[in-house]
């Protein structure tokens, strides 16, 4: 019996650790080379790592949600023969990297009544010693996902990982209705379908917080519980800005991007930030020093299919509005596509969260730790406004902002927002 220690390979530039998102195997399983064994998530992507060898899984290092350092032992295999414990070269595994996660063969799924690791679906081929008189009895894969062949086929054809669904049938069996509900909830893990049958619902579906969701959750806790926030709301008359925006858009040359409000707000912030240095930079809890940055690196909160990302437009102070608009499109597009570089995802000194089309009157944005301030931009809409004793229609945009009250006083925060308001209401000032 030879044991083979498979170490977490280097799965991308600059990545030193990865989080176990899901195991495809459990201890005692017989695996073949290239069978998927584990999904590991890094800052940038989730990588399915294939088995480097044939063998039986002896131990798994780490639970779902654990961080595993590159180079540490991930799985120990019994390869059954005299073997080496040196992992194969990276080329063997890195082939799999760029592929988006395919619908997993037969994904492990914790059965509600038995939250134990998923059972193997591979038939452990019994090696009968000679004389080989007998056929090997096919083993069953019961214990993984419980679903009829038709349901399994439909899931595979629709690219749905049945391991993500909680079946509403007896013993957690996945039914067609569960897939309907999953699709209707656009991938949300749901229990019983809404009206497919009239049974009382009693299930509590446990969804493990892993991967990006866990990172977001940790970051939010750090921000919300270490930073005493104060929030400040203001409305801005963007009627003139809108006129300028329309004029620039209609006269721009074709190679230039269409301007939204955001590039104007970015340019305005970059322009006024030198007068509000307390709002731009980093403050690490407990080190007693505020790092006020002269460069204006604006984080742009971006909702993606995978969750919230904050790609960064760097050195906005050195850009013109077209450059700012182009770079904004680039970084947010990359974030949505999952192709952001590490550089594009780090280093912001101030964050803008645009609530965009969803509008809303106000929000209390949470500061992107270790930054000290965040600006929320709401949808502009036409409103009746009293001007010179007359009710007139003006275009109004609401701004919500939050500041770290440890290092920014209320008056200072308000001053930044009022300054920004003046710039946006008289947009020529942005460019002077």
Partner 1 sequence: MAEIRKCQVLIVGAGPGGYVAGIRSGQLGMDTVIVEGDKAGGTCLIRGCIPSKAMIHAAERFESISMHNSENGHMGISISSEPQLDMAALVSWKDSIVDRLNKGVEALLKGSGAELIKGWANFSSPKRCTVETPNGIVEIEAENVIIATGSSHIDLPFMPCDEEFILSSTGALDLDSLPSKVAIVGGGYIGLELGCALSKLGSEVTVIEGMESILGIFDRELRRPLEIWLKKHGVIVHTNALAKGAQVKGRGASKKVELSYEMDGEVQTLKVDKVLVTVGRRPNTKDWGLETMGVRMDQSGRFIRTDRQCRTNVPGVYAIGDVAGEPMLAHKASSQGEMVAEIISGLTREFDKIAIPAIVFTEPEIVSVGLSPDEARDRGEDIVIGKFPLAANGRALTLEAEKTGGFIRVVARESDHVILGIQAVGSHIAELHGEFVLALEMGALLEDIADTVHAHPTMAEAFHESVLKSLGHAIHSA
Closest CA to 151 of 162, 143, 140: 162
Q: Which one of residues 98, 100, 113, 115 is an interface residue with partner 1 (CB under 8 A)?
A: 113
Work out the number of other CB atoms within 10 angstroms of the CB of residue 334.
18
Q: Which one of residues 100, 115, 127, 384 is an interface residue with partner 1 (CB under 8 A)?
A: 127
In degrees and rounded to multiples of 5, residue 141 shows phi and psi of -110, 25
Q: Is 74 exposed, middle or buried (0-12, 13-18, 19+ CB in 10 A)?
A: buried
Closest CA to 273 of 416, 122, 143: 416
Q: Which one of residues 73, 85, 92, 152 is an interface residue with partner 1 (CB under 8 A)?
A: 152
Could you tell me what percentage of the chain is helix, strand and coil, using 3-state DSSP and rounding each to the nearest 5? 30, 25, 50
Q: Which of 409, 412, 419, 426 is catalytic?
A: 409
Number of residues that bind partner 1 (CB under 8 A): 48
Minimum Å distance from CB 146 to partner 1?
4
Minimum Å distance from CB 119 to partner 1?
6
Minimum Å distance from CB 148 to partner 1?
5
173 lines the binding site for partner 1 (CB under 8 A): yes
Binding range to partner 1, per CB under 8 A, among 165-173, 233-241, 301-309, 384-392: 165-173
Minimum Å distance from CB 143 to partner 1?
7
The conformation of residue 111, written as its DSSP 8-state character, comes to B
199 lines the binding site for partner 1 (CB under 8 A): no
Nearer to partner 1, 131 or 389 (CB): 131
Minimum Å distance from CB 132 to partner 1?
3
Nearer to partner 1, 109 or 421 (CB): 109
* Helix or strand (DSSP H, E) at 49: strand 46-50
289 lines the binding site for partner 1 (CB under 8 A): no
115 lines the binding site for partner 1 (CB under 8 A): no
275, 243 Cβ separation under 8 angstroms: no
Minimum Å distance from CB 103 to partner 1?
8
| Residue 176 is a catalytic residue | no
Question: What mask, x for binding partner 1 by CB under 8 A, covers residues 371 to 410?
Answer: ----------------------------------------
DSSP 174-239: B-HHHHHHHHHTTT---SS-SSSS-------------THHHHHHHHHHHHHHHS-EEEEEEEEE-H
Q: Which one of residues 171, 183, 247, 337 is an interface residue with partner 1 (CB under 8 A)?
A: 171
Residue 120, SS3?
coil
Six token digits for residue 161 = 């990982």
Q: Which of residues 24-83 bind partner 1 (CB under 8 A)?
A: 28, 32-35, 54, 81
157 lines the binding site for partner 1 (CB under 8 A): yes
Helix axes 410-425, 261-272, angle to 10 degrees: 130
DSSP H helices in 321-409: 321-337
The span from the CA of 22 to the CA of 375, in Å, is 36
125 lines the binding site for partner 1 (CB under 8 A): yes
Q: Before 131, cis peptide (omega within 30)?
A: yes
Minimum Å distance from CB 78 to partner 1?
12
Q: Which of 405, 412, 419, 426 is catalytic?
A: 405
| β-strands 36-41, 17-23 pairing | antiparallel
Nearer to partner 1, 182 or 261 (CB): 182
135 lines the binding site for partner 1 (CB under 8 A): yes
Minimum Å distance from CB 179 to partner 1?
14
Six token digits for residue 108 = 């492990």
146 lines the binding site for partner 1 (CB under 8 A): yes
100 lines the binding site for partner 1 (CB under 8 A): no
Nearer to partner 1, 17 or 34 (CB): 34
The span from the CA of 85 to the CA of 54, in Å, is 13
Which residues of this chain interact with partner 1, rule CB under 8 A? 28, 32-35, 54, 81, 103, 105-106, 111, 113-114, 119-121, 123, 125-128, 130-143, 146-149, 152-153, 156-157, 169-173
* Catalytic positions, written as ranges: 405, 409
């Amino acid at each position: 019996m030879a044991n083979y220690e498979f170490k977490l390979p280097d799965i991308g530039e600059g990545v030193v650790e990865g989080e176990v998102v899901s195991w495809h195997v459990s201890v005692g399983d017989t695996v073949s080379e290239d069978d998927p064994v584990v999904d590991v998530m890094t800052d940038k992507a989730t990588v399915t790592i294939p088995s480097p060898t044939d063998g039986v899984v002896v131990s798994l290092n780490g639970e779902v949600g654990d961080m595993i350092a590159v180079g540490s032992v991930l799985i120990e295999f019994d390869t059954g023969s005299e073997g080496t414990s040196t992992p194969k070269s990276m080329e063997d595994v890195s082939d799999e990297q760029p592929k988006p996660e395919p619908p997993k063969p037969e994904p492990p799924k914790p059965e509600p009544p038995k939250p134990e690791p998923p059972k193997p679906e591979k038939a452990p081929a019994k090696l009968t010693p000679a004389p080989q008189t007998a056929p090997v009895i096919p083993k069953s894969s019961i214990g993984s996902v419980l679903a009829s062949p038709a349901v399994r086929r439909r899931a595979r054809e629709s690219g749905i990982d049945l391991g993500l669904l909680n079946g509403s049938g007896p013993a957690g069996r996945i039914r067609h209705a569960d897939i309907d509900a999953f699709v209707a909830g656009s991938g949300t893990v749901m229990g019983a379908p809404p009206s497919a049958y009239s049974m009382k619902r009693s299930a509590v579906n446990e969804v493990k917080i892993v991967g990006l969701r866990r990172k977001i959750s940790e970051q939010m806790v750090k921000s919300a519980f270490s930073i005493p926030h104060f929030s400040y709301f203001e409305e801005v008359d963007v009627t003139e800005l809108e006129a300028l925006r329309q004029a620039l858009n209609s006269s721009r040359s074709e190679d230039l991007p269409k301007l939204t409000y955001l590039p104007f707000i970015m340019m305005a912030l970059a322009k006024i930030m030198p007068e509000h240095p307390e709002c731009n930079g980093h403050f690490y809890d407990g080190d007693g020093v505020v790092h006020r940055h002269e460069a204006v690196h604006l984080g742009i909160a971006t909702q993606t299919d995978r969750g919230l990302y904050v790609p960064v437009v760097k050195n906005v102070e050195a850009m013109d509005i077209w450059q700012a608009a182009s770079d904004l499109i680039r970084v947010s597009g990359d974030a949505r596509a999952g192709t952001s570089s590490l550089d594009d995802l780090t280093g912001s000194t101030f964050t803008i969260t645009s609530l965009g089309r969803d509008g809303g009157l106000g929000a209390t944005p949470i500061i992107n730790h270790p930054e000290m301030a965040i600006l929320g931009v709401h949808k502009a809409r036409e409103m009746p406004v009293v001007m010179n004793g007359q009710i007139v229609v003006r275009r109004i945009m609401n701004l919500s902002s939050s500041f770290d009250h440890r290092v920014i006083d209320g008056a200072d925060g308000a001053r930044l927002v009022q300054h920004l308001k003046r710039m946006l209401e008289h947009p020529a000032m942005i460019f002077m």
